[in-house]
Every structure is written in structure tokens, then in C-alpha cells.
Amino acid sequence: MNLVVFFVVAVVAVASALALVLRRNPIHGALFLVVNLGCVAVLYLLLSAEFLALAQVIIYAGAIMVLFVFAIMVLIPGKEETGPDPLRPQRLLALPLGAVLLLEIALILKSSVFQAAQPVAPPPALPAGAGGIETVGRLLLRDYLFPFEVTSVLLLAALVGVLALAKRKAG
């Protein structure tokens, strides 16, 4: 059952990712990216990471993608990529390069270095509720409290930076 769900979701995820890259219109790309992010959220659920699935839907599919759609609407792009492409040979070169990258990743995943990192014993069974909000919340606010607080400083810095960038010069 899980396997069927995984394959259906995986196919949709890959198809929407391809559509994001291939569609000319960036607004279509943004909507396909939302589909892709939703698929990844379902995969998180399959991996029993409920908190992350929720965060994925709220932060990514909610906040970040709304920001993207806003930017696309404001900037009215979509005419940039219709003209002739002066760098077409370079762009075509990207496809074999991508294939080489995929091959490299597959080789690394198959290599002995990576296999040696496998757990010797069978993985400990997750305690009940692991991956749930309770476990992750405990980890976030106890073991990873300092990085968690540093994150708030990062977000504040991003906020101030965006305001400084977006402000029109007076006069």
C-alpha cells in the first residue's frame, strides 16, 4: 500500500518538477512547484515526519510560494525567454551535464564509502510518536535551542535587509 502511494507521488513529483523547468510561463512554473512541494509533504508523511509535512505545507506551499506568485505578478515577466537565445549551445550543454551529475550521485550512493555508513544493527524502532510534533518540539526547544534562537536572528536580518533593499530613495 505504502509502495503504491510512494510511486504515484514520486511520478507526480518528477513530472511537476520537469514541468517547472520546461514551461515558458513562470506563473505555470510556480503552480507546478506548489504541486511538487505538496508531493514532498506527502512523502514526509510516509516517512512518519508529520511535523515536517505540516511545516512544508505552511511555510513552503503557503508563505514562500505566495511570495513567488506576488513577485511574478508584480514584475510581469514571461517575455524574457521568447526572443532568440544567444547562448543556445551552452544551454544545450546543460542536459548532458545534468545526466553526468545524476550518474555521479548514483555512483556515490552505490559506492562502498556510502555503504559503510549503513547501520550495522537493524535501525532502532522509533518510539511511539517519534517524528511527531512532540518529539521534534522537544528536540527543537531543548537540544537545539541555540540554533533555534540563531534562526530568529537570521530571519530578523533578512527582514531588515529586504526593507533596506525595497525602500525607494527619498526624493
Partner 1 sequence: MVPESYYTALSAILFTIGVVGVLVRRNPLVIFMSIELMLNAANLALVAFGHRFGAADAQVLAFFVMTVAAAEVAVGLAIIVTIFRLRRRLSVDELSIMRW
Say whether residue 61 binds partner 1 (CB under 8 A).
no
54 binds partner 1 (CB under 8 A): no
Residues 6+ apart with CB under 8 A from 85: 91
Q: In this chain, which of 84, 89, 123, 171 binds partner 1, going by CB under 8 A?
A: 123
Residues 11-50 that bind partner 1 (CB under 8 A): 13-14, 17-18, 20-21, 26, 29-30, 33, 36-37, 40, 43-44, 46-49
- Binding of residue 171 to partner 1 (CB under 8 A): no
Site for partner 1 in 85-114 (CB under 8 A): 85-87, 91, 94-95, 97-99, 101-102, 105-106, 109
Question: How would you label 6-29 residue by residue, b for 16+ Cβ within 10 Å and e otherwise?
Answer: eeebeeebeebeebbeeeeebeeb
Tell me which of 113, 120, 146, 166 binds partner 1, using CB under 8 A: 166
Residue 36 vs residues 23, 59, 84, 160: alpha-carbon distances, Å: 14, 14, 30, 30
Q: State which amino acid sits at residue 72.
A: I
**Residue choice 12, 56, 112, 171 for contact with partner 1 (CB under 8 A):** 56
Q: In angstroms, what CA-CA distances link 156 with 71, 132, 135, 159, 161?
A: 21, 28, 27, 5, 8
Q: Which is nearer to partner 1, 21 or 116 (CB)?
A: 21
Contact 85, 91 (CB under 8 A): yes
Q: Is 144 in the site for partner 1 (CB under 8 A)?
A: yes
The smaller minimum CB distance to partner 1, of residues 21 and 113, is found at: 21
Q: Is 130 in the site for partner 1 (CB under 8 A)?
A: yes
